[in-house]
């Protein structure tokens, strides 16, 4: 039997060397978050097939925009697929659900929505999307420059809507802007007439809609239908082609912050994200059609940019599929600096698991279903 032992050892070593890096991807490709999740799913075909000489396997599951399903998917990926990394989900509530499983299983998560866990809960949680505070600063600056003194808010009745309201309460008063109305609606609502009428009665200089994707168009179009003439602002969560299509000309004049990739063809050549955003955008639209680009798919692309940067050092800690590799990947993600992505330049640290600066945002307006670049910090 002795001759077989070296053969078994060689086979085991070969198996370990050939182990795939397994990435579990949880997306909202159905339900209210589908207009965000579908371009994320489409982007899977554009992700790297190898990293640091290791094959990469992507296991993609749909959570239906439901937090319970997101948590169930995460648990399945960890226990059955034994993933090395969790990416997702698409919305803040579903990302929060995935985070609980990431924390319990000691598997790093890169959320695609701006989910911000408490400082003592973030060890295994990283977030690729820009923070709401970073994007809100651009809106507040624009409001100040344009004489806005009173502001009304219509936002989701969930974590996303609440966080934006919290950020506004922190930033607006210091800028001399008074919040005069706070209204909420659900992602699945088909009417917001009551909320819009209450906003109108407050006679604000401007309105901010704290919603994402296609549902963000609903309060906007209703306010215009009722005759509201003030400026309407949106969050970066609204920045996709479906939002533009559904809102159509009623969206003309809307102001919102976006990631650089949204206006890739309008960025100056000196912008750090110009080259990679252009490459991603052109490959995406070559595959899925003209004007199909979405910033949400680009978040998934950038998530794997971080993994590409972190993986070589993580592989020195252990092989894919091992607890040592998962720990190493978490540790190296936390050390990534100046990683250029489509949404800006990422530099993470033990105290900053977002890693963005002002280069991660551009301010745009909407005109005839097109983005008009107003400002893009370099």
**SS3 track for 71-82:** HHHHHHHHHCCC
Domain range holding 237? 132-258
177 and 236 in a single domain? The answer is: yes
118 and 152 in a single domain? The answer is: no
> Rounded to a whole number, what is the largest CA-CA distance in the chain?
87
Is 101 inside a domain boundary? yes
27 and 76 in a single domain? The answer is: yes
Residues 6+ apart with CB under 8 A from 182: 152, 153, 155, 165
Residues 6+ apart with CB under 8 A from 6: none
123 and 149 in a single domain? The answer is: no
125 and 137 in a single domain? The answer is: no
Is 312 inside a domain boundary? yes
239 and 337 in a single domain? The answer is: no
Is 177 inside a domain boundary? yes
Residue with tokens 């800006």: 344
247 and 151 in a single domain? The answer is: yes
- Token pair for residue 128? 């690729």
DSSP string, 314-332: HTTT--TTSHHHHHHHHHH
Bridge partners for 154 per DSSP: 183, 209
* C-beta of residue 341 within 8 angstroms of C-beta of residue 360: no
- Token pair for residue 224? 């215009």
* C-beta of residue 292 within 8 angstroms of C-beta of residue 270: no
Is 273 inside a domain boundary? no
* C-beta of residue 330 within 8 angstroms of C-beta of residue 124: yes
* CATH code assigned at 222: 3.40.50.2300
116 and 42 in a single domain? The answer is: yes
Is 374 inside a domain boundary? no
Is 311 inside a domain boundary? yes
38 and 71 in a single domain? The answer is: yes
188 and 215 in a single domain? The answer is: yes
pLDDT for the residue 11: 42
Is 268 inside a domain boundary? no
DSSP string, 227-271: T--SEEEE-GGG-SHHHHHHHGGGGTT-EEEE-GGGGGGGS-TTS
Number of domains present in the structure of the chain: 2
120 and 143 in a single domain? The answer is: no
Is 322 inside a domain boundary? yes
Q: In 273-312, which positions are buried (b, 16+ CB within 10 angstroms) versus exposed (e)?
A: bbebbbebbeebeeebeeebbbbbbbbbbbbbbbbbbbbe
Instruction: Quote the crossing angle between the two packed helices 295-314 and 323-333, to the nearest 10°.
Output: 120
- Token pair for residue 5? 């032992």
14 and 90 in a single domain? The answer is: yes
pTM (2 d.p.): 0.89
Query: For 45-49, which contacts have Cβ atoms below 8 Å and span 24 or more sequence positions?
Result: 45/287, 46/280, 46/283, 46/284, 46/287, 46/301, 47/300, 47/301, 47/304, 48/304, 48/308
pLDDT for the residue 19: 82
Per-residue pLDDT of the chain (378 residues; tens, 9 = 90+): 444 444 444 444 444 445 899 999 999 999 999 999 999 999 999 999 999 999 999 999 999 999 999 999 999 999 999 999 999 999 999 999 999 999 999 999 999 999 999 888 999 999 999 999 999 999 999 999 999 999 999 999 999 999 999 999 999 999 999 999 999 999 999 999 999 999 999 999 999 999 999 999 999 999 999 999 999 999 999 998 889 999 999 999 999 999 999 999 999 999 999 999 999 999 999 999 998 999 999 999 999 999 999 999 999 999 999 999 999 999 999 999 999 999 999 999 999 999 999 999 999 999 999 999 999 998
């Amino acid at each position: 039997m002795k001759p077989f032992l070296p053969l078994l050892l060689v086979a085991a070593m070969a198996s370990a060397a050939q182990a795939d890096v397994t990435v579990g991807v949880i997306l909202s490709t159905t339900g209210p978050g589908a207009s965000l999740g579908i371009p994320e799913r489409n982007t899977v075909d554009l992700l790297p097939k190898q990293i640091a000489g290791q094959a990469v396997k992507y296991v993609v599951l749909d959570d239906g925009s439901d937090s319970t399903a997101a948590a169930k998917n995460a648990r399945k990926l960890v226990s059955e697929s034994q993933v090395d990394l969790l990416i997702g989900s698409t919305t803040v509530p579903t990302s929060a659900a995935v985070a609980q499983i990431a924390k319990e299983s000691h598997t790093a998560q890169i959320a695609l929505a701006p989910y911000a866990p408490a400082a003592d809960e973030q060890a295994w949680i990283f977030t690729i999307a820009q923070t709401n505070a970073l994007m809100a600063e651009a809106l507040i600056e624009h409001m100040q420059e344009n004489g806005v003194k009173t502001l009304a808010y219509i936002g989701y009745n969930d974590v996303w809507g609440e966080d934006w309201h919290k950020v506004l309460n922190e930033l607006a008063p210091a800028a001399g802007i008074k919040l005069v109305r706070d209204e909420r609606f659900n992602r699945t609502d088909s009417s917001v007439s009551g909320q819009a009428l209450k906003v109108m009665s407050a006679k604000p200089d401007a309105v901010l809609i704290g919603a994402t994707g296609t549902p963000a168009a609903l309060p906007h179009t209703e306010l215009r239908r009722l005759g509201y003439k003030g400026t309407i602002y949106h969050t970066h969560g609204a920045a996709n082609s479906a939002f533009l299509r559904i809102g159509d000309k009623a969206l003309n004049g809307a102001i919102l912050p976006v990631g650089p990739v949204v206006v890739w063809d309008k960025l100056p050549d000196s912008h750090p994200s110009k080259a990679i955003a252009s490459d991603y955008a052109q490959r995406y639209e070559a595959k899925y059609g003209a004007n199909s680009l979405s910033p949400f798919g680009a978040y998934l692309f950038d998530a794997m940019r971080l993994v590409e940067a972190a993986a070589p050092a993580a592989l020195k800690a252990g092989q894919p599929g091992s607890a040592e590799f998962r720990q190493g990947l978490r540790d190296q993600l936390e050390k990534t600096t100046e990683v250029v992505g489509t949404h800006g330049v990422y530099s993470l640290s033990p105290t900053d698991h977002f890693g963005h600066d002002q280069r991660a945002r551009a301010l745009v307006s909407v005109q005839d279903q097109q983005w008009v670049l107003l400002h893009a910090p370099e």
